């Protein structure tokens, strides 16, 4: 993935594998990934963005990563790899923004979520 991502920021990367099929399609991936981003990746203050690169045909993974805050960045073909990678990224600021919205914080004020 390092070859695929050539951003100017200091970036972390995530590559994950769900080994037990009983845990597929249970809705766990987005919440687990958000926690990993918060507690591991962005716990390093030098990291500004995080990338992940599923196969373009893996729509379930792409949707789960979108739920965790990732957005499409670009599609790349890495040398020696049989299929392209659909590179997605999430920035530290975007993740913080999402947490603030869920908490009902807008412009420094706390407001109920249903008023947003």
pLDDT in tens, 54-108: 989 989 889 989 999 999 999 988 898 888 889 999 998 877 665 555 555 444 4
pLDDT at 69: 92
pLDDT at 8: 58
Residue 114 pLDDT greater than 60, yes or no: no
- For the chain, what are the domain ranges? 11-115
Closest CA to 64 of 100, 37, 93: 37
C-alpha distances (whole Å) from 116 to each of 7, 8, 67, 83, 111 are 33, 34, 19, 42, 8
Residue 111 pLDDT greater than 80, yes or no: no
- Token pair listed for 70: 């990732």
pLDDT confidence tier of residue 24, bands split at 50, 70 and 90: confident
Closest CA to 16 of 66, 69, 52: 52
pLDDT confidence tier of residue 32, bands split at 50, 70 and 90: confident
* pTM greater than 0.95 (yes/no): no
Query: How far is it, in rounded angstroms, from Cα 37 to Cα 21?
Result: 23
Start-to-end C-alpha separation, the chain = 37
Q: What CATH code would you report for 11-115?
A: 3.40.630.30
């Amino acid at each position: 993935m390092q070859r695929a991502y050539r951003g100017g920021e200091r970036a972390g990367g995530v590559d994950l594998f769900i080994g037990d099929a009983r845990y597929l399609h249970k809705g766990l991936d987005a919440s687990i990934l958000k926690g990993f981003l918060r507690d591991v990746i962005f716990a390093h203050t030098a990291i500004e963005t995080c990338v992940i690169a599923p196969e373009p045909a893996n729509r379930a993974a792409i949707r789960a990563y979108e739920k965790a805050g990732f957005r499409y960045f670009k599609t790349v073909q890495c040398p020696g790899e049989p299929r392209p990678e659909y590179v997605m990224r999430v920035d530290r600021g975007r993740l913080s923004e999402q947490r603030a919205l869920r908490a009902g914080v807008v412009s420094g004020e706390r407001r109920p979520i249903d008023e947003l």
